[in-house]
Amino acid sequence: MMRPKEMEPKAPEKPGEVEGMEGDGFPVLRRNVAGADLGSECHWICAPTVDGTGREVEKFGASTAELERAARWMRERQVESVAIESTGVYWIAPHEVWERCGLEVVLVSTRELSQVPGRKKTDRIDCKWIQRLHSCGLLRGSFRPAEKICMLRTLVRDRGVLAAEQADWVRRMQKSLDQMNVRVHRAVSDIEGTTGMTIIRAIVDGKRKPEELAALRQPGCKKSPAEFVEQLTGNWRDDYLFSLAQGLKMYDAIGERMQAYQEEILRRLGEMERAGYQDQEAPKLKNSNKAKMIRQRGEEPLRQAFYRMIGGDLTSIDGVGVEVLQTFVAHYGYDLSMFPDEKKLVAHLRLAPRQPITGGKPIKNRRKRGTGSTRVAEALGQAAFSLQNSKTALGAYFRHIARRKGPDVAAFATSRKIAIYIYRMLRWGQPYVDAGAEAQEKVYENARLSYLKTFAASLGFQLVPKAASA
Query: Considering the chain, what is the average pLDDT of its residues?
Result: 87
- State residue 355's pLDDT score: 65
What does the pLDDT average to over 451-460?
88
In this predicted model, what pLDDT tens digit does every residue of 400-416 receive, in sequence order? Answer: 999 999 999 999 999 99
Q: Is residue 128 domain-resident?
A: yes
What residue numbers bound the domain in which 56 lies? 10-135
Q: Is residue 141 domain-resident?
A: no
Q: Which residues contact 118 (CB under 8 A, 6 or more apart)?
A: 1, 2, 3, 8
Q: Is residue 301 domain-resident?
A: yes
Do 289 and 254 touch, CB atoms closer than 8 A?
A: no
pLDDT more than 70, % of the chain: 88
- State residue 87's pLDDT score: 72
User: Is pLDDT of 114 > 70?
Assistant: no
On whether both 32 and 91 belong to a single domain, the answer is: yes
- State residue 13's pLDDT score: 44
On whether both 304 and 418 belong to a single domain, the answer is: yes
Lowest mean pLDDT among 148-162, 369-383, 433-447, 448-462: 369-383
Q: With b meaning 16 or more CB within 10 Å and e meaning fewer, what string describes 293-327?
A: ebeeeebeebbbbbbbbbbbbbbbbbbbbbbbbbb
What does the pLDDT average to over 28-47?
92
User: Is pLDDT of 377 > 50?
Assistant: yes
Phi, psi (deg, nearest 5) at residue 33: -130, 160
pLDDT more than 90, % of the chain: 57
Q: Is residue 361 domain-resident?
A: no
Q: Which contacts qualify for 146-152: CB closer than 8 Å, 24 or more apart?
A: 146/333, 146/335, 147/96, 148/268, 148/271, 148/272, 149/329, 149/330, 149/331, 149/332, 149/333, 151/268, 152/265, 152/268, 152/269, 152/272, 152/329, 152/330
- Within 10 angstroms of residue 75's Cβ, the number of other Cβ atoms is 15
Q: pLDDT higher for 24 or 291?
A: 291
- State residue 131's pLDDT score: 92
Q: For residue 141, what are the β-bridge partners?
A: 108
On whether both 114 and 192 belong to a single domain, the answer is: no
- State residue 8's pLDDT score: 44
* Rounded Cα gap, residues 102 and 95, in angstroms: 11
Q: With b meaning 16 or more CB within 10 Å and e meaning fewer, what string describes 392-402?
A: bbbbbbbbbbb
On whether both 266 and 285 belong to a single domain, the answer is: no
At what angle are helices 300-310 and 238-271 packed, to 10 degrees? 20
Q: Is residue 140 domain-resident?
A: no
On whether both 188 and 87 belong to a single domain, the answer is: no
On whether both 46 and 157 belong to a single domain, the answer is: no
Q: Report helix, strand or coil for 246.
A: helix
On whether both 24 and 99 belong to a single domain, the answer is: yes
Alpha-helix residue ranges (DSSP H) falling in 37-122: 64-76, 92-100, 110-113
- Please give the tally of structural domains in the chain: 4
Lowest mean pLDDT among 67-71, 160-164, 430-434: 430-434
- Within 10 angstroms of residue 170's Cβ, the number of other Cβ atoms is 20
- State residue 308's pLDDT score: 94
What single string gives the DSSP state of each residue in 356-417? -EETTEE---PPPP--S-HHHHHHHHHHHHTTTT-SSHHHHHHHHHHHHH-HHHHHHHHHHH
Q: Is residue 362 domain-resident?
A: no
Q: Is residue 430 domain-resident?
A: yes
Q: pLDDT higher for 32 or 15?
A: 32
What does the pLDDT average to over 296-310?
93
Do 353 and 388 touch, CB atoms closer than 8 A?
A: no
- State residue 120's pLDDT score: 61
- State residue 4's pLDDT score: 41
On whether both 74 and 201 belong to a single domain, the answer is: no
In this predicted model, what pLDDT tens digit does every residue of 165-224 receive, in sequence order? Answer: 999 999 999 999 999 999 998 889 889 888 999 999 999 999 999 999 999 988 888 888
User: Is pLDDT of 369 > 70?
Assistant: no
* Rounded Cα gap, residues 30 and 138, in angstroms: 11
pLDDT category, 366, cuts 50, 70, 90?
low
Do 45 and 75 touch, CB atoms closer than 8 A?
A: no
Q: pLDDT higher for 17 or 413?
A: 413
* Rounded Cα gap, residues 321 and 310, in angstroms: 15
Q: Which residue, of 241, 270, 299, is where some domain finishes?
A: 270
Do 56 and 12 touch, CB atoms closer than 8 A?
A: yes
CATH assignment at residue 60: 3.30.420.10
* Rounded Cα gap, residues 5 and 285, in angstroms: 67
- State residue 17's pLDDT score: 54
- State residue 441's pLDDT score: 84
- State residue 16's pLDDT score: 55
Q: Which residue, of 240, 270, 300, is where some domain finishes?
A: 270
On whether both 188 and 284 belong to a single domain, the answer is: no
Q: pLDDT higher for 339 or 366?
A: 339
On whether both 398 and 455 belong to a single domain, the answer is: no
Phi, psi (deg, nearest 5) at residue 97: -70, -45
On whether both 195 and 68 belong to a single domain, the answer is: no
What single string gives the DSSP state of each residue in 173-217? HHHHHHHTT--HHHHSS-TTSHHHHHHHHHHHHT---HHHHHTT-
Q: Which residue, of 247, 270, 293, is where some domain finishes?
A: 270
Q: Is residue 2 domain-resident?
A: no
- State residue 466's pLDDT score: 78
- State residue 410's pLDDT score: 93
User: Is pLDDT of 306 > 50?
Assistant: yes
In this predicted model, what pLDDT tens digit does every residue of 63-113 receive, in sequence order? Answer: 999 999 999 999 999 999 999 987 778 899 999 999 999 999 999 877 666
